[in-house]
Amino acid sequence: MSQQSPDRSTATRPARPDASMSLLNNVMDHSLDDGYAEAAARRREEGREGLPRTLRSKLWLAAGLVVAALVVTLGAAEARISAPVVAKEREELIDRIDAETKTADTLESEVDELRADVSERQRKALERHGGDQGELVALLAGATPVEGPGVKLVVDDAKSTDQGGGGPRESTSFSDTGRVRDRDMQRVVNGLWESGAEAIAINGQRLTQLSAIRAAGDAILVDNRPLVPPYTVLAVGNGKRLANVFRDSADGQYLNALKESFDIRTSMSDQEKLRLPAAPSLIVRTAEPKAAGRGAADTGKGTS
């Protein structure tokens, strides 16, 4: 039996010893990723060989921060240098303000002195030219202080207005609230004059025959000077008789109606001694009697 030699073409080739390490061989043979290598080649072709973009961005950011820090440092140094100049200018401005304020105070004092001098001259002129009625003229014009018996009348808003509400009269109209109005004080003052008051003052402000009681919003003005409630009215005259006559007058009844219907607070008391100051400013007007047959026959010169 003849022995046949095996066919070399059909013989199985032995496997490589490192055949099971294909992944490791691939890593060793291709240490750079193909995409990375392609990107590096493209950068070389475009002439952008050098640092990666992220690193360049960080360097630019660092440079920007350095520049910003430099600018801040220079600004702080400049502010430190100019601070004494600013402080000096501020002190000079304060000195100018103080000087101008002192000047204004001096001028205001001079105005007050001149006003007092004018008022004194007016009072003396009233006494000198008033003749037999000089004292009465000075009294009616408010040129002199007044002292004597009289009545003290206090008029105040309703309690409900203390909390900022309009009071019992709020439901009808603005003018019919629980607040005392200028027209209320007008009727009170006119009623006291008619009842025999010789001199009247409201909250320490002397009234004359030419005084005006007006309103500005909720405020009551007397000769353009604001008053604050409660309104204290002092009237010099025959105390008991003055109080009784006023209570029975139409204006006294009007004030009582305000109290009963709208909670306006009022109180009246007799005073044995009251002192009213002179009017802060005098307004004097004179009237000459007309000749007989031309009009009313005045018997003398009137001054108010």
Kindly report, residue by residue over 49-67, the tens digit of the pLDDT: 555 567 777 778 888 888 8
Q: What pTM, to 2 d.p., does this model score? A: 0.53
Helix, strand, or coil (residue 149):
strand
Write down the mean pLDDT value for the chain.
Answer: 76
Q: Between the ranges 104-118, 128-142, 150-164, 239-253, where is the mean pLDDT highest? A: 239-253
Phi, psi angle pair for 83, to nearest 5°: -60, -45
Give pLDDT, residue 174: 42
270 — pLDDT class (breaks 50, 70, 90): confident
Q: Measure CA 67 to chain center.
A: 48
Residues 6+ apart with CB under 8 A from 235: 150, 151, 153, 192, 197, 199, 200, 242, 274
Q: List, for residues 139-168, the tens digit of each pLDDT value.
A: 777 777 888 999 999 999 988 765 444 444
CB atoms within 10 A of CB 274: 19
Q: Which helix (H) or strand (E) holds 126?
A: helix 53-129
Q: Where are the domains of the chain?
A: 147-276
Count of C-beta atoms within a 10 Å radius of residue 195: 22
pLDDT bin (cut points 50, 70, 90) of residue 3 is: very low
**For 238, phi and psi rounded to 5 degrees?**
-70, 100
DSSP state of 105: H
Is the pLDDT reported for residue 187 higher than 90? Answer: yes
Fold classified for 147-276: Alpha-Beta Plaits (3.30.70)
- The residue type found at 131 is G
